[in-house]
Amino acid sequence: MRRPRGRWRPRVARALTVAISLVVLLLLARYARSLDWPAVGEALRGYGAGTLVCALALAAASYLLYCAYELLSRRYGGHGLPAARTAAIGFVSYAFSLNLGALIGGGGLRLRLYTRNGVKAVEVARVALFAVATNWLGYLALAGGVLASGAMPLPARFGSSAGLQALGVAMLLAVAAYLGACARWSGRGLSLRGHAWTLPSLRMALLQLLLSSLNWLAIAGILFLLLPGEVGYPRVLGVVLVAAVLGALMHVPAGLGAWEAAFLAMLGGQLGKPAVVAALLAYRAIYYLLPLLAALALYALLEARRRRRGAATVSSSRPVQHRRHAGWREDAMNGISGRQDPLRPDAAPGPGEQPGKRDSERRNDPEQQAGAREGKREGAAAARRGPRRESPP
């Protein structure tokens, strides 16, 4: 039997991800032994309450923008879930995705939450693809602007300044091409890996660009607050963008190791390694761990509400089904006897009864009740005797 092609690729990708993660963890463990941890602890204790509150506010704003991604994807996909439930699913999915990887949060968990709320898997794929496009559209715009303008000088090992500026111009042209395509061919169907994809309107594409750009600016703002004041915001933004693309290429959950490598390589010599490590530890606690705890609680609440809705639906459907079966039995018995049940609302008036007599009066009439019981007994006896056989001529 011939094996289908391409089945080995996911296995190789997972094996490479595990191998890279192990290498990164070993390098971090080796680096951690040589780090001055008392200096890191002192830097962590030096954060004031105002700094931490502002960093928490920016983290909350970033996750609200993630929820806005999901609401915009809902408008694009048109799956019809309530806005509050859609935003809750988006928050849980992004919190898990940032901590555990896109395969668990952005893929598996989002699929589970949506399908359990009645959304088809094809529609979930469209929502996820639109959200990913939204996230990286703003990244391309900001990274292209930073590189093309030369606002952030990079180390020589990253390439020449002319090559980096050309890369920035190419990123900006890609953003402009996407916006132009949405303006020219809005609603035209495309196919990407077997999934249907239609270009959104220009207004929706501009909303994608705005939301994503604000989100990346908020993430950079958190680290700008946590790092010492000797470095400017444009430089921090550039390092964040470099660290993000490194984390995406390495496929390591939470970008573990990629962010540390980028910040230490580009800012460690200027600010000192203990200060950079302290800022990254505080950033991970504020932007990763705290939202993950909130997402766990919200996920448990969504599951509990789903179970309650399912139990209520089952309990409400059982009496209706019982009444239907009882009605079928009564109809069969009355059909055999050739009589109607006068206790039913749709029964015809009995002999000597006025046509306009109310159902409640017929239901409470003793003579009608006695006649109904006699008719049921006759019908049951006729059913036991079976159909009358005609003698042959």
Examine the pLDDT at 253 and tell me if it is beyond 80. no
The answer, yes or no, to whether residue 243 has pLDDT greater than 70, is: yes
Distance CA 261, CA 200 (A): 37
Q: Who has greater pLDDT, 113 or 105?
A: 113
Instruction: Tell whether the model's pLDDT for residue 130 goes beyond 80.
Output: yes
Stronger pLDDT, 16 or 264, i.e. the higher one = 264
Average pLDDT over residues 114-132: 89
pLDDT at 6: 56
pLDDT digits (tens, 9 = 90+) for 161-215: 778 889 999 999 999 999 999 999 988 777 766 666 789 999 999 999 999 999 9
State which of 175-179, 366-370, 389-393 shows the largest mean pLDDT: 175-179
Look at 330 and 372; give whichever has higher pLDDT.
372
Which pLDDT score is estimated for 328?
45
pLDDT of amino acid 318 = 55
Distance separating alpha carbons of residues 234 and 220, to the nearest angstrom: 9
**Which residue type is seen at 177?**
A
Q: What is the pTM of this model?
A: 0.73
Q: Once rounded to an integer, what is the mean pLDDT over residues 14-26?
A: 71
pLDDT over threshold 80, residue 233: yes
Helices (H), the chain: 8-33, 37-45, 49-77, 83-100, 110-115, 121-149, 161-184, 202-226, 233-250, 258-271, 273-284, 290-337, 359-364, 366-385
| pLDDT for res 369 | 65
pLDDT at 382: 65
Cα 200 to chain centroid distance, Å, stands at: 20
Q: Which range (106-115, 246-255, 375-384) has the least confidence?
A: 375-384
Q: How many C-beta neighbours within 10 Å does residue 156 have?
A: 8
Q: Between 7 and 318, whose confidence is greater? A: 7
- Cross-strand bridge partners of residue 197: 190
Lowest pLDDT segment from 115-129, 240-254, 355-369: 355-369
pLDDT of residue 34: 73
What is the per-residue pLDDT across 41-86, written as a single tens digit (0 to 9) for each?
999 999 999 999 999 999 999 999 999 999 999 999 888 899 999 9
Lookup result for tokens 């395509």: 181
